[in-house]
Amino acid sequence: MALLFSTTAFKSNGNPVKSVGNLAESARNSALFAAQQVQTDTLKTDAKDPVCGMKVKKGATLTHTHDKTTYGFCSKSCKKSFVSNPDKYLKK
């Protein structure tokens, strides 16, 4: 059984917008977001984004450390994908 929540936000014109969501999914997304925000390492050498394969230059701050290795990312969406399932992108 999923717990649902309902929120009401307001558009810039003052009209309300109501949304209903899954509480467990919302908590998971909040935890992922918090984990992404805590990470502040800089990339020590040029690297390749493990999600899309793009080149990431030394000094990049969009990083995440997994199993004592710091990975660099070209975008927030690539980082989010990696953080949610790193094993999907790492070759064993």
What is the average pLDDT score of the chain? Answer: 78
Of 36 and 68, the structure prediction assigns the larger pLDDT to 68
pTM flag (> 0.75): no
Q: Is the dihedral of CA 65, 66, 70, 71 positive or negative?
A: negative
Domain spans of the chain, in order of start: 1-38, 39-92
| One-letter amino acid of 33 | F
In which element (H, E) is residue 47 found? strand 47-48
Structure tokens at 29: 């997304």
Distance CA 84, CA 36 (A): 10
For 27-41, the pLDDT digits (tens) are: 666 666 555 555 568
